[in-house]
Structure 1
Amino acid sequence: MKMHITDEAVNWFKRELELDDGESVRFFAKYGGSTPVQHGFSLGVQKDVPDDPVAAVERNGHAFFIEGTDEWYFDGHDLYIGYDPKRDEPVYEYKKG
């Protein structure tokens, strides 16, 4: 599994999560909602420190990662994180690797 994130999305997370230099962002499965890959679960986001990442990308001094305990949620899909300027929010795409 891989993850990809655009510069625009990185800047959004830095601003919205008020990331300090070196802080990391975790993407995880949370109960409730629905996505193209899981029903009853959605994608959560929080500041965190990597422990056992299964996918990670380093951008502008920040790590964006997914822990091994959440790999099941992605069901073999790679995570693509973009940014929608009209809505001023991230956009998530799941693509089979």
Structure 2
Amino acid sequence: MILKVQEEAAQWYKNELELEDNDSLRFFVRYGGVGGLQPGMSLGVRPDQPAEPFAEDQKQGIRFYVEQEDAWYFDNYNVTVKYDPDTQEPDFDYYESENE
């Protein structure tokens, strides 16, 4: 799995969550929500420190990551976190992994 965070999305998280350089932001699986990859589930976010990162990206001085325990959610998909100017918030774009 590849996790990519676009610069604009990273800046949005940094501003909205008042993150500072060298902070970490975890994407984790949660029950409910809208637009998830798995039925009835979606990704949540929270500042946290990685224990067993499965995938990660670093932008705007922030480490974005997914823990190993949440790897099942992606089921051979990669994700790009983009900033949507229409909604003025991040959006998750899932696409199939070619090498997995």
With normalisation by structure 2, the TM-score equals 0.90
Q: Does 1:8 align with 2:30?
A: no
Equivalences, count: 97
Looking at structure 1, the residues matched to 86 and 26 of structure 2 have their Cα atoms a distance apart, in angstroms, of 25
Letter aligned with residue 73 of structure 2: Y
More strand by percentage: 1
Task: Report the 3-state secondary structure (helix = DSSP H, G, I; strand = E; otherwise coil) of the residue aligned with 1:39.
Answer: coil
In angstroms, what is the RMSD of aligned CA positions? 1.2
**Percent identity between the aligned chains?**
42
Task: Report the 3-state secondary structure (helix = DSSP H, G, I; strand = E; otherwise coil) of the residue aligned with 2:57.
Answer: strand
Q: How do 1:11-50 and structure 2 match up within 5 A?
A: 11-35=11-35, 37-50=37-50
1:61 is matched with 61
With normalisation by structure 1, the TM-score equals 0.93
Looking at structure 2, the residues matched to 32 and 6 of structure 1 have their Cα atoms a distance apart, in angstroms, of 25
Q: What per-residue deviation string (whole Å, max 9, x for no partner) do you get for residues 7-50 of structure 1? A: 10010000011102211110010011354520111110111111
